[in-house]
Amino acid sequence: MNQDQLKWMASSAEHDGAVGTEQMTPPEKSAGRATKRLLAVLGLLATMMFFRHPAALMGAAGCFLFGMLLGGLPLLQILRRLLLIVPFALGAIVFVPFQHAEGGTELFRLFGWVATEEGMRHSIVLLLKVVNANLLITYLLLSTPLFQLIRSLRAIGIPAVLLEIIGLMLRYLVLLKEEAQGMVKAQRSRGLRLDGWLWSRSTYKRFGELLGVLFIRAYARSSRIYQSITARGGFGAGLTGRGRRQPIGQGGLGMAIDVRGVTYQYGRIQALRGLTFSIGQGAKVVLMGPNGAGKSTLISLLNGLEQPATGEVSVFGERMTRENALLLRQRIGVVYQDPDDQIFSTTVEEDVAFGPRNLGLDEQMVQDRVTEALRAVGMSELRSRSPFELSYGQKRRVAIAGVLAMRPEVVILDEPMAFLDPKSRDDLQALLERMHESGLTLIVATHDVDFAAEWATDVIVLKDGRLLASGSTELLFDDLLLEQADLHLPRLVRPFRLLQDAAETRPRTVRDAAQAIWQLIMRGPDGTLARSSKRMDGETRQREG
Ligand SMILES: Nc1ncnc2c1ncn2[C@@H]1O[C@H](COP(=O)(O)OP(=O)(O)OP(=O)(O)O)[C@@H](O)[C@H]1O
């Protein structure tokens, strides 16, 4: 996908009205203000380290709080963030007074431990310093959007790798929180009562078990996130030298993907059993098959995240190996089923910029690609938002933008329609159409036969790791194949199957179906319509009988 193609998509999206007004990069002025604010907070934090007197620290805390309220920050939010330091405060109060037992002035004894005046003072000073630091950081977080904060941190010379580590740690914390919330919700729906949980014995009995499950779930999720980061060139030494595409071998002209005798197994589980098929450039392919058929495994192989046990996968004529997988991967983008597995940055624009940065592009080019990709998916307005605050459909668009910004030639989407409302599904289908018109080869793993019949040009059907069939979407009308693959006939076709005179009619779209019905009606004068109606009535009665 070249620059013109992505731009074309972006302009089409705007033309369709799918896009709101583009929010341009924040003005220099506010970026400068954010950096000044960051420097001021860092300066105050450093100064705070030298304060030794509780009264001075208390005075500083009062000033900070007053300043924040004067600046319009909500008191409730400030207090909520202050609650975060309660565990630390308890630790400081409980342990620190006993630190100066030797040589200090005794205040009281507890279980043989001596609390001293010096220890107590030290404890109060420590506590006040933590409160002050918390107030200052809260001020920064509440007054400056996260993306600007990150830019400012970069501007003052904090190494990018450190920021990435912080970003990933934050992502892991968010992930833990989401998993914990998900678990609580699922358990409440099955009768878990939360009233009095803090004092309940069973809470503590099950605590270890729940914590274990939480970490296993978070681990599984983070390994999927790791996969998607790798798919966009993360953790690698950059995908290509300075963003240029290396020449890729000759062969298979017009062929985007060629799969020959591929097998794959997870331990003793045979997931793929000798698959052979090919996909031409510019095709719109649906990958179908029941649960466990091997679709996700195949996608991992096509993207080079896994290597086949036997057989080979070729991309644009070049055989995929461990060595060239990084290079070939930039020609094949993958949009995973769960956008939360794919998105991990603190802002939408940072997330979309992740792949282009891995390509080694300069910052201006990265920003251009981010703008274009977000415009193409109709998400320009939300570029500064945290992706974790978005709806599921919006997250999916961000995930697609992240892949488009890499300018791949093939895009694979795993169940892109899952969990979307009808309007979002229509929007996504229109987006897929634009992506295809811009020259992309698209592969969509789906269970949705109606979407497949309407949208795709070709179909690949798997079952139990085997290829049941591959070819044009005419296959979707083959009853035997559909039965073998646990699929059903597209809905639009079913009524025509009940009409003897129109049993072979295979409408793909509502418009096709309307036209077919109209043609049937127009045949009326010679009596066909009447006969058809009678036959339909007759057949319906027969079925009901
Ligand atoms: N990490 C794994 N470890 C062991 N077995 C696995 C693993 N992932 C998948 N499998 C097995 O491999 C087979 C193919 O699974 P895969 O996820 O590729 O199917 P799928 O067609 O994508 O299914 P679905 O439609 O449910 O997503 C299944 O039998 C599955 O149990």
Of 484, 511, 535, which residue is a domain's last? Answer: 484
Do 331 and 437 sit in the same domain of this protein? Answer: yes
Do 181 and 217 sit in the same domain of this protein? Answer: yes
% residues pLDDT > 90 (the chain): 17
Q: Is the CB of 289 under 6 A from ligand 1?
A: yes
Contacts of 79 (CB under 8 A, 6+ apart): none
Q: What pLDDT, in 10s, does the model give residues 429-470?
A: 888 998 898 889 999 999 999 999 999 999 999 999 999 888
Q: How many structural domains compose the chain?
A: 4
Q: How much is the mean pLDDT over the chain?
A: 78
pLDDT of residue 534: 45
Closest among 171, 123, 462, 134 to 345, alpha carbons compared? 171
% residues pLDDT > 70 (the chain): 75
Q: What pLDDT, in 10s, does the model give residues 24-74?
A: 444 566 678 888 888 998 999 888 888 888 899 999 999 999 998 988 888
| Mean predicted confidence (pLDDT) in 191-198 | 60
pLDDT of residue 498: 80
Identify residue 121 by its one-letter amino acid code: R
Do 274 and 355 sit in the same domain of this protein? Answer: yes
Q: Does residue 509 register a pLDDT over 80?
A: yes
Q: Which ligand 1 atom sits nearest the alpha carbon of residue 337?
A: 27
Q: Is the CB of 265 under 6 A from ligand 1?
A: no
> Which residue reads 């060595």 in tokens?
323
Q: How would residue 298 be classed by pLDDT, with cut points 50, 70 and 90?
A: very high
Do 271 and 418 sit in the same domain of this protein? Answer: yes
Q: What pLDDT, in 10s, does the model give residues 336-355?
A: 888 887 787 778 888 898 88
Nearest CA to ligand 1 atom 29: 292
Contacts of 384 (CB under 8 A, 6+ apart): 23, 26, 145, 147, 347, 348, 349
Q: What is the DSSP letter of 319?
A: E
Nearest CA to ligand 1 atom 25: 291
Q: Is the CB of 50 under 6 A from ligand 1?
A: no
| Residue from 266, 303, 444, 463 whose mutation best tests the ligand 1 pocket (most atoms within 8 A of CB) | 266
pLDDT of residue 525: 54
| Mean predicted confidence (pLDDT) in 187-205 | 61
Do 300 and 427 sit in the same domain of this protein? Answer: yes
- If one compares 226 and 417, the residue with the highest pLDDT of the two is 417
Ordered DSSP codes for 478-523? -HHHHHHTT----GGGHHHHT-GGGTT----SHHHHHHHHHHHHHT
Q: How would residue 233 be classed by pLDDT, with cut points 50, 70 and 90?
A: low
pLDDT of residue 173: 75
Nearest CA to ligand 1 atom 11: 271
Q: Does residue 253 register a pLDDT over 90?
A: no
Q: Is the CB of 295 under 6 A from ligand 1?
A: yes
The answer to the question of residue 173 being in a domain is yes
Nearest CA to ligand 1 atom 3: 266
Nearest CA to ligand 1 atom 24: 291
Do 278 and 415 sit in the same domain of this protein? Answer: yes
Q: Does residue 271 register a pLDDT over 90?
A: yes
Which range marks the domain in which residue 172 is found?
159-231
Q: Which ligand 1 atom sits nearest the alpha carbon of residue 462?
A: 21
**Pair 488, 319: CB distance under 8 Å:** no
Do 508 and 473 sit in the same domain of this protein? Answer: no
Q: How would residue 193 be classed by pLDDT, with cut points 50, 70 and 90?
A: low
Q: Is the CB of 271 under 6 A from ligand 1?
A: yes
- Please tell me the distance between residue 27's alpha carbon and the centre of ligand 1 in angstroms: 48
Nearest CA to ligand 1 atom 13: 271
Closest among 398, 415, 437 to 16, alpha carbons compared? 437
Q: What pLDDT, in 10s, does the model give residues 104-150?
A: 777 777 777 777 777 788 888 888 888 888 899 888 888 887 767 77
